[in-house]
Amino acid sequence: MAVRLTGSLYTCETHVLYVGPMIASARHAHHAGQVLWAPDGLVLHGEDGRQRHAAVHVVPPNRPHAHGAAARAAVLWVDRNDLSWDRALERLDVSSGLPSALGARLGESLSPEEARELAQALLAVVATAHGAHVHAPLHPAVRRMCKLLDCTASGPAMRITELAQQAGLSIRQLRHRFTQELGINPRSYLRWRRLRRAIASIEKGATLTEAAAEGGFADGAHLCRVFQAQFGMPPSQALSSVRFAGSLI
């Protein structure tokens, strides 16, 4: 049987925090940026394929990467549109005050208060003091497109011509503006939102088949392929044995 994630998953605003043992992943890329902390270090494979060892690592959104295993780790996923990533990476501070007392306990379950402190510390690695909880500003048309795509995440995909009409842009303008601000095209954004919806369904106890239907995927196999591409492992490894610890709000 393949090794599985066995730690705890918390939601924090629109972010997701994992705390516990980390298993190795295949090469993947996701719409969320990632702040990873493994106090004892772990092996990282960057976009160029080079291997290095680090305790704190930041992966920008949509950046191909892979990582090794660690006995204790914490990972915070922050959506591309939740943060001004260009500015965040310019002011990146991997030596910021990560709570060393919690670092020794990342292989265990944390209390909600401890998990909240940890999530805030990881976010502070990439967010400015004044912008840590502020969504990156979006063009009004992009905001409208996101809302339309979010509303259709569990149903048939809206045609690009319909999106353009409702957003008040030409098709060319829509694709350019959307990709410029979110780093992915509307189709990729919709796939990410459907995946998030399917994961939320699994958290509530749905089977893979039920979660696939809830997320608007063709079937469970389709969901598994998309999940593998986004996280470097199938949902059976990533979600079947984790503890869904709820919201930190």
Q: What CATH number has the domain bearing residue 164?
A: 1.10.10.60
The verdict on residue 243 lying in a domain is: no
Asked whether residue 131 falls in the same domain as residue 144, the answer is: no
CATH of the domain at 112: 2.60.120.10
Asked which of 107, 135, 163 is the last residue of a domain, the reply is: 135
The mean per-residue pLDDT over the stretch 155-167 comes to: 72
Q: Which domain holds residue 187?
A: 140-238
User: Is the separation of the CB atoms in 154 and 191 below 8 Å?
Assistant: no
**Chain CA centroid to CA 203, Å:** 15
Cα–Cα distance for residue pair 135/127, rounded to 1 Å = 11
Q: Phi then psi for 45, rounded to 5 degrees?
A: -115, 110
Cα–Cα distance for residue pair 186/209, rounded to 1 Å = 25
pLDDT > 50? residue 27? yes
The verdict on residue 183 lying in a domain is: yes
Cα–Cα distance for residue pair 131/125, rounded to 1 Å = 12
Query: What is the model's pLDDT at position 129?
Result: 47
The verdict on residue 126 lying in a domain is: yes
**Bigger pLDDT: 174 vs 155:** 174
Asked whether residue 155 falls in the same domain as residue 200, the answer is: yes
Residues 6 or more apart whose CB falls under 8 angstroms from that of 220 comprise 207, 208, 209, 211, 212
The verdict on residue 59 lying in a domain is: yes
Q: How many CA atoms, within 13 angstroms, populate the side-chain half-sphere of residue 236?
A: 8
**Bigger pLDDT: 155 vs 201:** 201
Cα–Cα distance for residue pair 247/249, rounded to 1 Å = 6
Asked whether residue 52 falls in the same domain as residue 161, the answer is: no
Q: How confident is the model at residue 130 (pLDDT cuts 50, 70, 90)?
A: very low
Asked whether residue 166 falls in the same domain as residue 183, the answer is: yes
Asked which of 112, 135, 158 is the last residue of a domain, the reply is: 135
Asked whether residue 150 falls in the same domain as residue 184, the answer is: yes
Residues 6 or more apart whose CB falls under 8 angstroms from that of 123 comprise 15, 35, 76, 78, 132
Q: How many CA atoms, within 13 angstroms, populate the side-chain half-sphere of residue 215?
A: 31
pLDDT > 70? residue 88? no
Residues 6 or more apart whose CB falls under 8 angstroms from that of 61 comprise 30, 31, 32, 33, 79, 80, 85, 183
In the chain, what percentage of residues exceed pLDDT 70? Answer: 89
User: Is the separation of the CB atoms in 164 and 174 below 8 Å?
Assistant: yes
The verdict on residue 123 lying in a domain is: yes
The verdict on residue 246 lying in a domain is: no
Mean pLDDT of the chain: 86
The verdict on residue 35 lying in a domain is: yes
Asked whether residue 121 falls in the same domain as residue 29, the answer is: yes
For residue 8, give the 3-state DSSP assignment: strand
Instruction: Kindly report the pTM of this predicted structure.
Output: 0.87
Residues 6 or more apart whose CB falls under 8 angstroms from that of 149 comprise 158, 163, 186, 189, 190, 193
The verdict on residue 178 lying in a domain is: yes
Number of structural domains found in the chain:
2
